[in-house]
Structure 1
Amino acid sequence: MENMRRRFVLNLIAYAALRDVPATQLCRLAGIDMAVLQRTEDYVVSHHQLNSLWREASALADDILFGLHFGESLQLSALGIVGEIIRTSETVGQAVEQAAALAHLLTDLLRVTVDRTPSHFIIRFLPLTERTDLFVFRQTLELFMVFVVHELDGLLLRKVKPVSVRLPYRVEQESEYTRVFRCEIEKSAEEYALVFDNHYWTEPLLSANYEIQRTLLQNVAANNSTAGDSFKEKIHQYLLTNAYLGIRSLSEIAANFNVSPRTLQRKLKEEGISYQDVADEVRKSLAIHYLEEGDYPVKTISYMLGYNELSAFTRAFKRWTGKTPVSYQKN
């Protein structure tokens, strides 16, 4: 059986590192032997260590919404065999039901149920214990709720918008929750839930995306060893690993790194580059990668890179390479 907690911890540490949190310091504060964790498949991470990891990561990143932002960056590939099972579903409904059934493999803090009405389907996140660390529970809960919303993007190759998000507590930084979830947050008396319009339920999943995403992530993993510590490189790496549904805006990236757009621009300017330059570098490398990897339609690649019109992608690609995407793919 795959060590799901170890996989989750490795992904949490990797995301924290993108946020300028020193991985060795984070592990030391959480009581985790990083070297052993990396090389030992059956390394056991205790509840106390995981709780400490959440708290220290949030503190070192200076981000009380660390779980919310981590959920934005997480992908099905990070869930190992659970992600593989979910991605073999044929429709959104099947994927949601698979995810609910497998939630116990990912966390012992909550279980997931799915209910349908004539107009909506509701994904509920039910606490399994009242004795857990409330801070850790909230971080974990928000991580999984955001992950569900944003991974549906990757399954359908477009942004999915819930009808509502229900939380039994009043949130701080409400505008950030609205940005991440793409809808208003309802103050609910008793439940943690995501509500979606029923029309999503029977939509087919676009399986071609998984092959693109898999090869992309393999390339990213191969490049991790040479990635530097500059802010530009961190942004580049983040955009690359989360680019299968377009390049995120300056304000979205700034929020994920818990800085203002102005601060992000200033940091990049100090390194002699703009955010638009970094985004274009990523688009160019992804476009070439997708065109060389297989017979993916140019229109699909254009959409995945965030271009609403094929003509705009064609102009940009010709500026980068001197060729159109179609002629480049043929050659």
Structure 2
Amino acid sequence: MQDYQKLLALNLLAYAVQKNTSVDELCSQSGLEIDDLRSETKDQLTTEQVNKLWLNATDLSQDPLFGLHFGESLQATALGVVGELIRHSRTIGEALNHAVAFAHLITDAFVMELDQSNQAVAIRFIPNEERRRESPVAFRQKMDFFMAFTLHEVDGLILRKMQSIRVMLPVEGPDLPEYERVLRCRSIQNSSAYLIEFDHKYWDEPILTADYELQGLLLRKVSAMNDAFTNTKALSERINKFLLANAYLGVPTLDAIAANLNVSSRSLQRKLQEEGVTYQQLTDSIRKSLALHYLQSGHYPVKEVSYILGYNELSAFNRAFRRWTGTTPVSYQREIKQVL
């Protein structure tokens, strides 16, 4: 399956070169190898690597609005099969519906929603709060990128510029004029929400480059990718793998996991119930495994392990650990040291 995060990372590197940035330095500081990005056999990028890439690209390019300008420059074809599907949709409305359906294959920073009225269409980018908290600066660059990309890609589909009616995102001060230029809106509202609204007349605007036969083939291919992403493993197994892969971020809430998987919290709970498990049981199992790992390593004091695992009080961690093992974290760590 095509790795869209790697594809986006390669395009980011290509754009960084245009900003007179050293790719070698950017990759080195981000803990990446270009050959690994090109390889389908190498592991997926970690959240930490993705965040570092955005942060270092912003810093080395000396462009605090790197994401906004990157989004202004990128074309849909750079997003592989998903981008081609969008480009060969019949209308702008159809292209946006495809973008909403498959955005999670490209990023876990947000989910997209469309709101329609007789006068306007609003594209809402619903942030993944876990991603926002872990690296606010990288998160802002990603959101700037996707908002600018969404607006400017429409230009290439209908061969004329689409004008925004309303835009919402966190921005104020001296950067505002540049956001107004790129997002084509004089009424940008400083808000924690992210939204682009445009006239409803664009919804049925035909895409001039559409190839309907190719669109059908692309839709089947992307749908197969989506099925592989969502259905090849039991949901509980996918969540376990995600929690372990992102253990350095702590244990996220049910709402954060649901947003990452592009489902509602209620739907996630129902699907797990069908598999005979609850999210609480999954996180409890992960916390136990991680607690044992961290304590056995000998590199972390008990209080720090408690904090990493998301316990607000050390006493709560002690009670949980005793329930898992029959002993306290301090006693367990002492026994490990004696064995070693």
Same fold (TM over 0.5): yes
* Kept in 2: contact 1:67–1:139 (CA 8 A): yes
Which of 51-60 and 124-133 deviates more?
Answer: 124-133
CA distance change for structure 1 residues 176 and 169 in 2, over 3 Å: closer, same or farther? Answer: closer
Partner of 2:299: none
Residues 98-117 of structure 1 mapped to structure 2, 5 A cutoff: 98-117=98-117
Residues 213-252 of structure 1 mapped to structure 2, 5 A cutoff: none
* Kept in 2: contact 1:82–1:102 (CA 8 A): yes
CA distance change for structure 1 residues 117 and 64 in 2, over 3 Å: closer, same or farther? Answer: same
* Kept in 1: contact 2:89–2:210 (CA 8 A): no
CA distance change for structure 1 residues 61 and 38 in 2, over 3 Å: closer, same or farther? Answer: same
Partner of 2:21: 21
Residues 152-171 of structure 1 mapped to structure 2, 5 A cutoff: 152-170=154-172
Which of 33-42 and 76-85 deviates more?
Answer: 33-42
Q: Structure 1 residue 81: deviation in Å?
A: 1.1
Partner of 1:11: 11
User: Gaps (5+ residues) in structure 2?
Assistant: 213-340
Aligned-residue identity in percent: 42
Question: What are the superposed Cα offsets for residues 248-284 of structure 1, whole Å, 9 maximum, x if unpaired?
Answer: xxxxxxxxxxxxxxxxxxxxxxxxxxxxxxxxxxxxx
Q: Structure 1 residue 170: deviation in Å?
A: 2.5
* Kept in 1: contact 2:3–2:40 (CA 8 A): no
Pair 1:49-2:11 in alignment: no
Give me the whole-angstrom Cα distance separating, in 2, the residues matched to 1:64 and 1:19. Answer: 12
Pair 1:183-2:185 in alignment: yes
State the one-letter code of the partner of 2:198: F
* Kept in 2: contact 1:4–1:106 (CA 8 A): yes
The number of equivalent residue pairs is 210
Partner of 2:126: 126
SS at match of 1:80: helix
TM-score for the superposition, normalised by structure 1: 0.60
* Kept in 1: contact 2:76–2:84 (CA 8 A): yes
Q: Structure 1 residue 190: deviation in Å?
A: 4.6
User: Gaps (5+ residues) in structure 1?
Assistant: 211-331
Q: Structure 1 residue 43: deviation in Å?
A: 4.3
Give me the whole-angstrom Cα distance separating, in 1, the residues matched to 2:42 and 2:17. Answer: 23
Q: Structure 1 residue 37: deviation in Å?
A: 2.4
Give me the whole-angstrom Cα distance separating, in 2, the residues matched to 1:40 and 1:171. Answer: 43
Give me the whole-angstrom Cα distance separating, in 1, the residues matched to 2:190 and 2:57. Answer: 28
TM-score for the superposition, normalised by structure 2: 0.59
Partner of 1:196: 198
SS at match of 1:195: strand
Give me the whole-angstrom Cα distance separating, in 1, the residues matched to 2:41 and 2:78. Answer: 15
Partner of 1:137: 139
CA distance change for structure 1 residues 144 and 41 in 2, over 3 Å: closer, same or farther? Answer: farther
